[in-house]
């Protein structure tokens, strides 16, 4: 059995997977802003729900830059140098604790769930913030695993800003005073498509991935802006740079949790 933990900027999702990938009951709680409170709540959740069971691995997704299993920086939570694996060591017996970036894990799941598996994928999660995962030949690209696409510096409305600052779910709410689920007018979605396109116009020529997959809470509403987004990209990309196939995530808000499962399976297989 494999425990998966999706630590998001606003909420945390926990579940148990069987070896063949069947997910159990999803447990959800608001992500505490303090590391100590998060550790206490997560430890209690794991022990109360999975204590005494034979757990082979625990995968924890973190919403930020992860290096050697340590969350170096999680922007929306302001967590720095957070060694969650060491802090939770032994929480479920001898089960190893694996830690990686949430967008990379989501990209892993979304890539592996496709048939055939695309050779190169740029996964973008647009939720509280913007995260990116780059998947090559079905695994997280080792040379690009620390990429932070949401931090790309882009000129927008005369100022150089991080892509996330004007195109994330949080930015959409702040600018339009509405959550994505409550936005239905075409003009607003055209504006949102334009904001999202700015980052892709930088990333596509650089990476030239075969496929782009959009997930996260904004990925849920893919059909409301995808046509406009594709039109903008095709209009502005250089003629020799093809626009990748752009797809919605199969599990836009649960891709991370499934990625935790795939990551653990790969780790156990490589032992």
Interval 189-207: pLDDT, tens: 999 999 999 999 999 999 9
Please indicate, yes or no, if residue 234 is contained in any of the structural domains: yes
93 and 175 in a single domain? The answer is: no
96 and 129 in a single domain? The answer is: no
136 and 176 in a single domain? The answer is: yes
C-alpha distance across the termini of the chain, in Å = 16
pLDDT score at 133: 93
Please indicate, yes or no, if residue 217 is contained in any of the structural domains: yes
If 0-12 CB within 10 Å is exposed, 13-18 middle and 19+ buried, where does residue 78 land? exposed
In whole angstroms, what is the distance from residue 74 CA to residue 257 CA? 18
120 and 244 in a single domain? The answer is: yes
Residue 137 has pLDDT above 90, yes or no: yes
DSSP, res 178? S
In whole angstroms, what is the distance from residue 6 CA to residue 254 CA? 9
Please indicate, yes or no, if residue 109 is contained in any of the structural domains: no
Please list the residues that pair with 120 across neighbouring strands. 136
Residue 252 has pLDDT above 80, yes or no: no
Residues 6+ apart with CB under 8 A from 78: 33
72 and 123 in a single domain? The answer is: no
What is the rounded average pLDDT of the residues 20-34?
A: 90
215 and 199 in a single domain? The answer is: yes
CATH number of the domain where residue 120 is located: 3.30.420.40
Query: pLDDT tens, 68-93?
Result: 889 998 877 889 999 999 999 998 88
219 and 257 in a single domain? The answer is: no
250: left (phi over 0), alpha (psi -120 to 50) or beta: alpha
Task: Write out the residue range of the structural domain in which residue 16 sits.
Answer: 2-101+253-269
216 and 259 in a single domain? The answer is: no
The structure tokens 């990116």 sit at: 132
219 and 164 in a single domain? The answer is: yes
139 and 97 in a single domain? The answer is: no
118 and 159 in a single domain? The answer is: yes
Q: Total structural domains in the chain?
A: 2
pLDDT score at 9: 81
If 0-12 CB within 10 Å is exposed, 13-18 middle and 19+ buried, where does residue 236 land? middle
pTM above 0.85, yes or no: yes
In whole angstroms, what is the distance from residue 202 CA to residue 183 CA? 27
88 and 137 in a single domain? The answer is: no
Please indicate, yes or no, if residue 108 is contained in any of the structural domains: no
């Amino acid at each position: 059995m494999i425990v998966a933990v999706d630590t998001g900027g606003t909420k945390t999702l926990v579940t148990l997977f069987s070896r063949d990938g069947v997910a159990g009951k999803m447990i959800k709680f608001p992500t505490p802003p303090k590391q100590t409170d998060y550790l206490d709540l997560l430890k209690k959740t794991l022990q109360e729900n999975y204590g005494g069971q034979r757990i082979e691995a625990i995968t924890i997704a973190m919403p930020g830059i992860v290096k050697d299993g340590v969350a170096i920086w999680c922007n929306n939570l302001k967590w720095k140098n957070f060694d969650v694996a060491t802090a939770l060591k032994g929480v479920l017996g001898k089960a190893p604790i694996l830690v990686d970036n949430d967008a990379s894990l989501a990209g892993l799941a979304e890539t592996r769930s496709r048939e055939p598996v695309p050779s190169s994928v740029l996964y973008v999660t647009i939720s509280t913030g913007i995260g990116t995962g780059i998947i090559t030949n079905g695994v997280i690209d080792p040379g690009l695993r620390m990429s932070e696409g949401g931090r790309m510096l882009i000129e927008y409305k005369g100022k150089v800003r991080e892509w996330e600052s004007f195109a994330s779910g949080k930015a959409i709410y702040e600018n339009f005073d509405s959550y994505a689920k409550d936005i239905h007018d075409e003009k607003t979605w055209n504006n949102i498509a334009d904001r999202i396109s700015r980052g892709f116009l930088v990333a596509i020529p650089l990476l030239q991935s075969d496929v782009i997959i959009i997930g996260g809470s904004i990925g849920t509403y893919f059909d409301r802006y995808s046509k406009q987004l594709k039109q903008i990209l095709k209009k502005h990309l250089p003629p020799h740079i093809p626009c990748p196939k752009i797809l919605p995530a199969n599990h836009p808000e649960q891709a991370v949790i499934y990625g935790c499962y795939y990551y653990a399976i790969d780790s156990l297989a490589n032992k």
